[in-house]
Amino acid sequence: MTLILDGLNVFIRAKSSAFKAKNKTKSTIENFLSIFPPLNKLLPKKIIIIWEHPDYGEKRRLVPTYKTNRNPIIDTQLIGEIKKLCFYLGITQYEWIGKEADECAAYLSYKYPYEKLFFYSADKDWLQLCDNNNHNVLLPSSLTTIKTNLGSYQLYNKARFVGEFKFSPYKYPLYKTIVGDCSDNVKSMGGIDKITIAELMLKYDSIEGVLTETFNPRIQEYINANKQLIVNSYHTMNLLRDYDGVRDEEFKITESKRDLQMLVGFFKLHKIADKFKIQ
């Protein structure tokens, strides 16, 4: 069983929970580390951390507002320290050059369809990945904090997802296209009511099918004026696509063996050796 984590997502939550700390670097590292003890109860044979390496240019050509609401300032120096820590821990790290973490996760899901994979992220777009019965998504129970109950999560498999949403996980990007996605700054399809949305989700598998429907004049006017944008939004959010043409050279993969000496030195440098015992 392999555990796959969204590195930047965990880092941002770890840092935001350290905003009151006197030593923010030390506190952020401690918060980041606190994820491992509870998740290790899953007994993963391997842990992979995926780091973002995005180039939003292509997606913003398709959807101009895509993630324009995000704060672009990332503490690259502190992330560098976290990456060192993961290296000393012997954790494999992936970056797909020019791509977001969820795309890299989807690629791994596509590449290893028969392996037992657990994906951990607060990004709900990752829920698409539990469409494969061998793959599960761990959604943190609290999306706003990481310092308390970090290991508290909701485990989604395909059965649980269908039970809650009443449609299959592969339809999640269709749902988000219809209702909009505030976190990615993607607009809804003009405010379709909940009953109609439920009917559409049962009837159609893709946005092209939904666009054959006739809606009330107000919504129809919006759709007619923004049809290509709506299609682009759907394909931008859809992770379950064909990755056959992806080449190994597109990835930066860092693999290592656990280095106890370097790990102890790292902990002493950041004055956290007494809190996290390394056996």
Domain that holds residue 206: 169-237
Residues 40 and 103 in one domain: yes
- Mean pLDDT across the stretch 86-100? 94
How high is the pLDDT of residue 273?
60
Q: What is the CATH number of the domain that holds 30?
A: 3.40.50.1010
- Helix 227-237 crosses helix 217-225 at what angle (to 10 degrees)? 70
Same domain, 223 and 250: no
Model confidence pTM above 0.85: yes
| 191-239 per-position pLDDT tens digit | 899 999 999 999 999 999 999 999 999 999 999 999 999 999 999 999 9
Mean pLDDT score of the chain, rounded to an integer? 89
Shared domain check, 191 and 116:
no
Whether 61 is covered by a domain: the verdict is: yes
Interior angle at CA 11, CA 154 and CA 164, nearest 5: 20
Q: Note the pLDDT of residue 73.
A: 67
Residues 178 and 193 placed together within one structural domain of the fold: yes
pLDDT, tens only, 107-120: 999 999 999 999 99
pLDDT at 278 over 70: no
Using CA atoms, how far apart are residues 257 and 86, in angstroms rounded to an integer? Answer: 10
Is the pLDDT at 31 greater than 60, yes or no?
Answer: yes
**Could you give the residue ranges of the DSSP H alpha helices within 19-154?**
24-33, 36-39, 57-62, 76-89, 101-111
- Do 133 and 57 lie in a common domain? yes
Co-location of 183 and 120 in the same domain: no
Give the bridge partners for 73, in sequence order. Answer: none
- pLDDT tens string 117-153: 999 999 999 999 999 999 999 998 765 444 445 557 8
Predicted confidence band of residue 277 (pLDDT cuts 50, 70, 90): low
Total domains present in the chain: 2
Is position 42 within any domain? yes
Q: Could you tell me if residue 275 is inside a domain?
A: no
Residue 227's pLDDT is what? 95
Instruction: Please report the pLDDT score of residue 276 as a whole number.
Output: 56
Does one domain contain both 56 and 35?
Answer: yes
Whether residues 150 and 177 fall in one domain:
no
Question: Mean pLDDT across the stretch 173-177?
Answer: 96
Flag whether 50 is in a domain: yes
- The reply to whether 204 and 155 lie within a common domain is no
Check residues 270 and 81 and name the one with the higher pLDDT: 81
Q: Calculate what percentage of the chain has a pLDDT beyond 70.
A: 93
135 or 72, higher pLDDT: 135
Which CATH number goes with the domain that contains 230?
1.10.150.20
Long-range residue pairs from 53-60, CB within 8 A, at least 24 positions apart, any chain: 53/95, 53/96, 53/97, 53/98, 53/99, 53/252, 54/98, 54/99, 54/100, 55/98, 55/99, 59/236
* Residue 279 in domain: no
pLDDT tens figures, 235-272: 999 999 999 999 989 999 999 999 989 988 988 888 88
Residue 147: its pLDDT value, please? 46
**What pLDDT band is residue 38 in, cutting at 50, 70 and 90?**
confident
Residue 74 lies inside a defined structural domain of this protein: yes
Does residue 115 share a domain with residue 174?
Answer: no
Q: Does residue 274 belong to any structural domain of this protein? A: no
> Which region among 3-17, 88-102, 146-160, 179-193 has the lowest average model confidence (pLDDT)?
146-160
Do 86 and 175 belong together in one domain?
no
Radius of gyration from C-alpha coordinates of the chain: 20
Cα 179 to Cα 197: distance, rounded to the nearest angstrom: 8
Q: Are residues 75 and 23 in the same domain?
A: yes
Instruction: Please indicate, yes or no, if residue 198 is contained in any of the structural domains.
Output: yes
CA distance 120 to 206: 26
